[in-house]
Amino acid sequence: MAAYILRRLLLMIPTILGIMLVSFVIVQFAPGGPIERVIAQLQGTDVSATARIGGGSGGETGGGAQTGGTDSVQSKYRGAQGLDPEFIKELERQYGFDKPAHERFLKMISSYIRFDFGESYFRDIAVIDLIVEKMPVSISLGLWMMLISYLISIPLGIAKAVRDGSRFDTWTSAIVIVGYAIPGFLFAVLLIVLFAGGSFLDWFPLRGLVSDNWESLPWYQKITDYFWHLTLPIISMALGAFATTTLLTKNSFLDEIRKQYVMTARMKGLTERQVLYGHVFRNAMLIIIAGFPGAFISAFFAGSLLIETIFSLDGLGLLSFESIVNRDYPVVFATLYIFSLMGLIVGLISDLTYTWVDPRIDFESREV
């Protein structure tokens, strides 16, 4: 097993490099960029990040600045006409675009290996400090959503498999499918209207992770206030994951229950509980474990973007989205690097969990 873990860790290096390289190359052809945004701000045309279209394709994200005439410098950036070309060159030096693309990529990777992510272009703060600042929101949403989803979905999926075809199975399937069909953000809006001061009840807060007076509250009220704010966002996020995991668990258990070894175990006189949890469970749970890394990363990052926006939760999902549309590349690449690394590590942990659930699995005998 030690050899397998070492191989997987070594394989992470080219994987991370490939992810970062492809993303870096794509950015070179993306329209607009930080220099164009500065120019737009100076000229009062930067209404919003998402409103910008067009722009120099690869101008500020391409190679280094050329030292030609005024027209060649200004033509690279939309709206740069009339600005001092030396000022534009200074902007390029400030953001590092005066160097060729390959030099910037190598410098970025060498810094990221040391977890040195530099500073945000448009926020006067180090990228790592910015990520740490937003981390509590994403951790709260991701981990609690996954915990609640798995604690409910797995027992419910097992119960549905055991009672396959019964009224319980039919009605719960209908509820689960309806829940899966409703987008999380739409359900979030419905919860706000019903329970957060919309047209009906005002039971839950509408924004933030904690109340303004949270620091002055005693510890037990801090815990209550924290979960009070998390209730609606967590319910909204868990809806889709709850349905998916429930049906996946049910189908996985049904497949195992119908196999020959289950019939053999029953013929030996084992009780249904012994058959279910002594034989079926660890085999059926393998597919659930296999889907955990993707579900975890989705809940921790991408899946929380709309929920964070609706409930005004300033987390990593919202930070990454704003950084992309604002062309804040240090934040974009840093979050990509961190979450790619997290995904690879969680994937390795998932494989190791396979061996814990079913000791018969031997990854060392497989070719990597």
pLDDT at 46 (0 to 100): 58
The DSSP annotation for 261-329 comes to: HHHHHHHTT--HHHHIIIIIHHHHHHHHHHTHHHHHHHHHTGGGHHHHHHTT---HHHHHHHHHHTT-H
pLDDT at 52 (0 to 100): 37
pLDDT at 294 (0 to 100): 62
Q: Which domains does the chain have, with CATH numbers?
A: 2-126 (no CATH), 128-365 (1.10.3720.10)
> Which has more pLDDT, 42 or 211?
211
Contact assessment for residue 279 and residue 261, using Cβ atoms and an 8 Å cutoff = yes
User: What is the tens place of the pLDDT at every residue in 170-205?
Assistant: 998 888 888 778 887 888 888 888 888 766 788 888
Please tell me the number of Cα atoms within 13 Å of 131 on its side-chain side: 21
User: What is the tens place of the pLDDT at every residue in 49-87?
Assistant: 444 333 333 434 333 333 344 455 554 665 555 566 676
Reported pTM: 0.70
pLDDT at 264 (0 to 100): 85
Return d(Cα 169, Cα 159) in angstroms, integer.
8
